[in-house]
Structure 1
């Protein structure tokens, strides 16, 4: 099995958001959760819990966003 980009999901105090996802995206999240469980030897997590680390990973690896954050932090300093 290939290495997934997410590590095991940590239990953290959430901030509640309500979103709607296309059914296909939810199905893919469920499959990803199963693959993550197999890869880590843990129980599968609720697919909803995958969304925050996926968004975090996406933003952390987006160069344009990183540049914008640096500019914003310099402006507020």
Structure 2
């Protein structure tokens, strides 16, 4: 079986989010939830619970974003040092 990028979904305090998804993306999300459920041996009743871990994973593995964030932090640190 293929190793999916998401791991087990942690049941956390719910937060209400309203979002509109294109129908094909929603179908893919439902299919991904089913595949992840089979792989992890758990039932994912609400595929929308995958959105947060997917976004977290995407941001964590986006090298360009990490680079931009580091450069932004370095600029902020230099600005703080100049102000001191």
Task: State the TM-score, normalizing by the size of structure 1.
Answer: 0.87
1:16 & 1:73 partners in 2: Cα distance?
A: 31
User: More helix per residue: 1 or 2?
Assistant: 2
Unaligned 5+ segments in structure 2 are 78-84
**What is the count of residue pairs matched by the alignment?**
77
CA contact (8 A) 1:37 1:44 kept: yes
Cα RMSD after superposing both structures: 1.4
How big is the shift at 1:14? 4.2
1:21-53 CA-to-partner distances (Å, cap 9, x unmatched) read: 001111111111111111011112411001111
Is the Cα–Cα contact under 8 Å of residues 37 and 45 in structure 1 kept in the other structure? no
Structure with higher Rg: it is 2
TM-score (structure 2 length as normaliser): 0.81
